[in-house]
Structure 1
């Protein structure tokens, strides 16, 4: 069993993350300003370069055209003020029109995403959120708990934006992890944009959110967490844990 699998299993069994080891000094920030964006792009570059998934980029930063779009948000996790991990959320809003809210998954898996984004039987447009660019700085590559800290904020933003479904283009060796988070296989494998690896398209619809939160309460969003993370949407730095 890998370290990531072990942490997942323990969380599903109800064991909390070790705050003594992980909670102290952990903060989060939405990348709304240039400095935080540079931190996100710098973590991506170091992570993908260390894995051989990209070639060296100018300035040691890895970003793409999607980062410039208003339907994209990146979160940076800091550990004792050091940029440690990051994730990006890209929203496809069916209500905004066919050309609005482009996401990488739709370019890579156009037919599959079109099916998932089709209006419901009652005609209500579907809102999809793709989770991508989930990375840790190489100095924290064995800190598996950072992955769940990232997903804690992913779940917060998914709930806050009322997304009907979460999508992820997962590397083949990561699919068991996403299956534990109630994602299911949709299509693939296909080469992901800008990196040297193939991915499977996986999806977790709204109907499974409650089961996910019940299995892993650490990821659940409640009123206390909404209050604690309210400043995140304004570009403020927030503690991962209330006592941080």
Structure 2
């Protein structure tokens, strides 16, 4: 594994940066998990919805393509954010935030559930006894589809397979900018030469509106979220096909 990583690093040192522009892409599963948590998940936390996040007026509206289902699951097996009860004593649950493209639920504490006239979802969390519980995600992911990676590439005439999420930033409008480690050229549906990683940017909800296929290579990764106080979370997804803006040369 170390030898493979070293060869890949050597290859990327001499690789060029791809051109800038909006391209059809495959986002690798690691990047999809980052997108699910940072750019979409935070917009569904009811305290931030109340503050005017992108989802504030979107309940029961179509906000992504039909292939997208976004879940926050407090009971995900061995998840980094898994607990049976939240820090207000509410049982955790599997919450479909987006179901087949439609906004169906927000993440709630007891307080926000009362404000929104709904039930708490078990998302009140505190880092330790010195902190008050606030609304936090647990294990947040975009549900996998049934495509192989090669099938995702088949319908791309010219584009890129973007690999390796390097973190970044997002705001409550869904706007994001993330770094990637590697961009593999796709030409005529086939994978080609490797380029250096690029920054990708745009609005997460626009990216998910243009998503037309999701792979089966699902992965759940561990993460630390720093909303007001640090906490453990899971971030997951499978590779997906969409269009995104590349900040290349």
TM-score, scaled relative to structure 1: 0.26
Higher strand share: 2
Q: Which has the higher contact order (CA 8 A, sep 6+)?
A: 2
Q: Which has the larger radius of gyration?
A: 2
Higher helix share: 1
TM-score, scaled relative to structure 2: 0.25
